[in-house]
Copies of this chain bind each other. A is one copy, B any other.
Amino acid sequence: MVVSESWTMVRHFEGVPKPEDFKLIEKELPPLKYGEILLESEFWSVDPYMRPYSKRSLKEGDVIMGSQVARVVESKNVDFATGDYYVAQAGWTTYFISDGKDLRALPSEWPESLPRSLALGAVGMPGVTAYIGLQQICNPKAGEVLLVNSAAGAVGTIVGQIAKLKGCKVVGSAGSDEKVTYLKEIGFDEAFNYKTVNSLEEALKRASPEGYDCYFENVGGKFADVALQQMNSFGRIAVCGAISMYNDSVPQMGPYIHPYILFKQLRMEGFLIFHWEDKPLYKEAQKQLLEWILENKVKYHEHITHGFKNMPKGFIGMLNGENIGKAIIKA
What residues of chain A have their CB less than 8 Å away from a CB belonging to chain B?
A: 52, 56, 217, 220-221, 224, 239-242, 245, 251-272, 275
Contact = CB atoms under 8 A, between A and B. Distances in A.
A268 B267 contact: yes
Contacts of A56: 263
Given A52-B263, A253-B255, 6 more contacts: A224-B256, A241-B262, A242-B259, A254-B256, A264-B270, A266-B270
A220 B251 CA distance: 19
Contacts of A255: 251-253
A261 B239 contact: yes
A45 to B, nearest CB: 19
A259 B253 CA distance: 12
Describe A's contact surface by its main secondary structure: mixed
Contact of A253 (B221, B245, B256, B261): B256
A221 B252 CA distance: 15
Given A52-B263, A56-B263, A263-B56, A245 B258 contact: yes
A56 to B, nearest CB: 7
A242 B240 CA distance: 25
Nearest to A265: B270
Contacts of A260: 270
Nearest to A56: B263
A81 to B, nearest CB: 37
A266 B267 CA distance: 10
Contacts of A220: 256, 258
A217 B256 CA distance: 13
A259 B271 contact: no
Given A267-B269, A268-B267, A240 B258 contact: no
A275 B264 CA distance: 11
A268 B272 contact: no
Contact of A258 (B224, B258, B266, B272): B224
